[in-house]
Amino acid sequence: MCKLLASCCAVSCLLVLTGCRAVQEPAAGPQPVNKVYDQKTGRLTRLDFDTRKSGGIDTWCYMDGTRVVRVEADRDADGKVDRWEYYGADRKLDKVGMSRQNDGVVDAWAFSGPDGSLARLEIATNRDGKVTRTEYFDKGVFVRAEEDANGDGRPDKWETYNGAALESVAFDTTQRGTPDRRLTYLPNGRVLAEHLK
């Protein structure tokens, strides 16, 4: 996808530098099949690519002139987008969206930490675009999660992990915004239940 982004940027820069005239495309990387411009302003709004050279568009770069805003890709050739890349005003990758059911509906977004590893995963568990579960990672290792199980916009379930093992789950059963009950999973297999103040 980095090569694709580089091609998007290279092509859009060439188009701007030449006054949006037809230009020779760069030899390396995926070639744009279609360029879409805003009819009123003449600004580049989208580049369409056939990265597999199969005769069909599989990647769409949404542009604001020369700046990539979003890239959508159908990586498995099933006719449905399965990856969404969102770029900030600083031209850096902000987050990557995915479809957990591989049906073209974005329902999870991954965010990288400063070291480039996965730092946070936001999930719309109801697949409606509204984030209800957030999973946190430390250097790519899953460490904790918060979930809004009742849909009121606030976390009411907190999980902690030790490696891949669930260590504890805390619940807000009184809707006060803080945990009042916790289950702790001990290494010996016992579960310790406690009520919190």
Helix (H, G, I), strand (E, B) or coil at 7: helix
Residue bearing the bigger pLDDT, 22 or 179: 179
CA distances from 51 to 54, 122, 156 (A): 8, 28, 44
> How much is the pLDDT for 29?
63
- Regarding pTM above 0.85, the answer is no
- pLDDT, residue 170, reads 96
Alpha-helical segments (H) within the chain? 2-17
Gap between the Cα atoms of 83 and 96, Å rounded: 7
What pLDDT score does 134 carry? 98
Domains of the chain by residue range: 1-20+30-106
Closest to 82 (Cα-Cα) out of 92, 91, 71: 71
Q: What is the mean pLDDT of the chain?
A: 85
